[in-house]
Structure formats: structure tokens, C-alpha cells
Amino acid sequence: MNIRTVATKAYTDQKPGTSGLRKKVTIFQQPHYLENFVQAIFDSLVGLQGKTLVVGGDGRYYNRPAIQTILKMAAANGVKRVLVGRAGLLSTPAVSHLIRKQRAFGGIILSASHNPGGPDGDFGIKYNITNGGPAPESVTSAIYQRACKLSLYRIHNAPDIDLDNIGHSGIGDMEIEIVDPVTQYAQLMERLFDFNAIRTLFTSGLFTMRYDAMHAVTGPYAIEILENRLGAAQGTVINGRPLEDFGGGHPDPNLTYAPELVAIMNGARAPDFGAAADGDGDRNMILGRNFFVTPSDSLAILAANATIAPGYATGLAGVARSMPTSAAVDRVAKELGIECFETPTGWKFFGNLLDAGRVTLCGEESFGTGSNHVREKDGLWAVLFWLNILAVRRQSVEQIVQRHWAVYGRNFYTRHDYESVDATAATQLMDRLREDFPDLRGRKFGHRQVLFCDDFSYTDPVDRSVSTGQGVRIGFDNGDRIVFRLSGTGTEGATLRVYIESYEPDAAKHRQETQQALADLISIARDISRLTERTGRDTPTVIT
């Protein structure tokens, strides 16, 4: 059989976070480090032998050698068939779609999402289950427990596979199929959206767009769909070639890390519509001329306009948002008479709701929106949804958002990220906040009084599983809200995220600048947490 059993020593730092295991490339390059985690995945999956897996990634540095290792280990662990994206490329939503369409056992995604790439950058690996979504905590916990006890792994002695040409090959008894990473995903988008209406919008000569692929995985998808299938002008997609280091950039689609697109959209001759996606294609940023759409507002607007798109013409079963996301979509759900769920951060928490048919659309404030078409957030899907709305309503992005506010009111909302904070200091800040709950309840801050403060917990309405410690919430009697949370997506120190929200029903006040409108609450958040004193940080790294 030509299979080697390799003795190894367990690594105890392989605990997956909300999006799998993320570390520096140099850590993954340690002897046996990648192999140990992959073996822990295989050992934890009951019934894997004889089944099909999907494997692909965002093209970042170390993507190709990692795929070669995974293929050889899959063959040694009894996998029957593996589908791999050509050149090792598959966006995260495309992996989810392939798992579902091919009825695969699951998939392995190689990505650190929106984190920087290159030899000194970040790398990541996560497992998605049969429904196409991220592994639940029961699976990731089993993987971690196995990783802590691992003493050997199995790998096939075989030459590397040609990843660059579509076709069939194999390792031992395992079949490998190299597939076009774009075609099946593009066909799915054609079924969901009115491509004829969008094509007419592009060919009218009255509409222009820029899509920043950030030298990440969605470049080939966007060029094929936007330029080739929908007729957008050549050059609509910028930074469309995937690069191992993302061109030296930070593939995070926000106002800080997408400066080229932001400059274009704020320029004198700005296009009508701007959008960007992140490293693995599951996040999106939406822009109009000199106008930024918050992800929370984007989710609410997609929900309010959902029936415009053919794939959602019959209406929505329900909607869901992560706890830190603003309550803008809650107001839409109430108007539509549908369920609205508040979950912890992490797309896996939407999976049960989607599978049970309780929700159709879901989203997170961290630039992620999606629907029941896959079990991941989907950046390009969101862009196409917006294009469908623009094609039908024939209004500008700003007009659509402002008219939405006029109907539902505006949830002024911002997120302040403090990246690479000393992990101990960040943890102590959160602990102190929890300790301060008794003193905070009922305390007045100007015209506001603290109504409640808690550490958010969630009981899944489908399987009744309970998730605790999901973020500190401080709610005021006027509906204002402050949330503190430590993010699990970084690889250095800790990322402290502070979310500020205030609802304004008066349309005359909707044009205020966000940071100005929230200045008082921002100051209160800093005072309550004693943020500068406890972290040494005076200003956020990123404001969205």
C-alpha cells in the first residue's frame, strides 16, 4: 500500500477557534505540525472511510504544499475521492456549495480569511461538515482533544499531484478530481439572481462599478461573473489576480484595508457602485459614491428587498444575526412578520437554523452576509444581490439606504477594533467588566441609565445546545447598547472589539456622521472599560 506511519509528538496549541486553526505560516511549517492537525481531523470523523472530501483554499502562501500533504494523508486514511479546485483555489462559499452539490462527507478549507498572507503572514485550516457549514463545537472539540493526544499520523508515499490542470488522477486507491473552481458557483448565482436585469444595467452605459478582489481568491470568480457573464466593462475588477501574499496588502474589505477602492469611490469621478471581498471570499464591503454601507444595514436592506431577486421571490422564512450586529434587521423582520434570531458570532451558529428552514438570510457585522444557498457567508453573492436591487430599483446606493432609514429608522452603529493587544491585558479587561456588573446595573451616564449588563449566552432553538461567554453586553434604558468581545480570528495577541449602537427614528437626524452621532456612547464605553488604562491603547486600529 506504500503507506507510512510516522511517529510524532502532540502539539497542545491546536485548538480551533470560530474559523478553524489559525497560526503564523512559520508555525504550520514546524515538523509534523500540519500533519498532526490533519490527522486529528481524520481521526475525529466517524464514517470518513470510503467517502468524498472537497479541498481548496484562498491561494495564500503555503496553500499548495498543504494541499499536497492533505491529499497524501487522505489516501492513507481511507478517503475514496477528493475534489480539489484548480491551482488549489476554492473560495469558502464555493467549497460549501461543492460539498452540498456533490453530497460530500465534508471539506477542508485552507485559509486565514482576511488575515495577511506571505511567508511571514498567517495560514489557517478548518473543517466543514456535510451540510457545507463550519464544524460545530462538538466536532472542533473532538479534533482538539485528539490533537493533544496524537502520537502518530499516516501518509501515503506518493509524488505530488498536478493541481493546475482539470482532470482525474489518484493516489493509491483514492481518486482525485481537479475541478474548475468557478463554473459551478457561477451557475448557482445565475439561478438566484436576475442576470438579464443586471446585464441590462451594465450595458445601459449609465452605470459603472469597481470590484476590488484584493489579489485574493474571488478575482477569477468576479472576472467570470461580472465581466464575462454580466457584461461589465473590462477593468471593472481590480486586483483580480490571486497572489500568495495578496500583493503585500491586507485582504480585509473595510475602510482601512481597502484604501485603493475607497479612494476610487470617494474620487471626483467615482463609479456608481463599489464592492470588495476578503481573502477567502466570504466577506464583503458595499460602497456607493462617497457612501459606505455598514454590514448591519446591508443585511437589513437585503432582507427588506429580498423578493426582488428570483431566488428569494417567495419571501423569507426568517432572518438571523450575530449578537454584536446591529438590530436594524430586527425591525425589518418585525415588519415582515417573520422570525429573527440573535446568535453568537460564528457562522456555524446559523447552520442549524438554515437546515431547519427557520431562516433564509443571515449576517454578521464583520462584513459577512449569506443565505440558505450555502452554509457559509458569501461575499460575491452579497454583491450580486445588491446589483439585482440596483438593477430593479434604479436608484443610487445612497438613495436606497436613506429611503430604508426613512421607513425603519437608523441604527447608528460602529465597531472599534484594537488589534494585537496584549492577550493577558485584554482578558483581564473582560474579566473586570464582568466583575463590575453589580455596580453598573442602574448606573446613570448623562440621560442614559444602564438597564442590563450580561455575558451573552445562547441556547440553540434546534438542538438545544448552549453556548456561554459570547460577549459582554451593556444595555441602556433608551435602547442604546455597548458590546465588548475578544475576537478569535487573529494570530498575534488579542483583538478587542467594541461595538456601539444607538437607534434614531427621526429622519431629520439620519445624515449625521456616525462617529459624531455616537461620540457620547464611545466615550462612555472607554470610561466603563478603562480601556486606555488597561490596554495602553488610545485609539482603535480599525474603525468600521
Q: Where are the domains of the chain?
A: 3-181, 185-408, 410-543
pLDDT at 544: 84
- Buried/exposed code over 368-403 (b: 16+ C-beta within 10 A; e: otherwise): bbbbbbbbbbbbbbbbbbbbbbbbeeeeebeebbbe
Burial class (CB within 10 angstroms; exposed 0-12, middle 13-18, buried 19+) of 206: exposed
C-alpha pair distances (Å), 264 with each of 212, 236, 255, 276, 443: 10, 12, 12, 12, 45
Whose grid coordinates read 434570531?
Answer: 341
Q: Of 20, 174, 184, 169, give the one whose Cα is nearest residue 98.
A: 184
Could you tell me if 318 and 339 are in contact, meaning their C-beta atoms sit under 8 angstroms apart?
A: yes
C-alpha cell at 152: 502518530
Burial class (CB within 10 angstroms; exposed 0-12, middle 13-18, buried 19+) of 155: buried
pLDDT at 489: 55
CATH fold of the domain at 3-181? Alpha-D-Glucose-1,6-Bisphosphate; Chain A, domain 3 (3.40.120)
For the question of residue 204 being annotated catalytic, the response is no
pLDDT at 297: 96
**Rounded to an integer, what distance in angstroms lies between the CA atom of residue 95 and that of residue 530?**
43
Domain 185-408: CATH architecture, name and number where available: 3-Layer(aba) Sandwich (3.40)
User: CATH topology of 3-181 equal to that of 185-408?
Assistant: yes
pLDDT at 491: 56
What's 192-256 look like in SS3? Answer: HCCHHHHHHHHHCCCCCEEEECCCCCHHHHHHHHHHHHCCCCCCCEECCCCCCCHHHCCCCCCCC
Could you tell me if 105 and 52 are in contact, meaning their C-beta atoms sit under 8 angstroms apart?
A: yes
**Rounded to an integer, what distance in angstroms lies between the CA atom of residue 256 and that of residue 116?**
14
Q: Which residues of the chain are under the pLDDT cut of 50?
A: none
CATH fold of the domain at 410-543? TATA-Binding Protein (3.30.310)
pLDDT at 488: 60
- Measure CA 321 to chain center: 13
Catalytic residue among 19, 96, 113, 371: 113
**Rounded to an integer, what distance in angstroms lies between the CA atom of residue 180 and that of residue 89?**
9
pLDDT at 19: 79
pLDDT at 492: 67
Burial class (CB within 10 angstroms; exposed 0-12, middle 13-18, buried 19+) of 72: buried
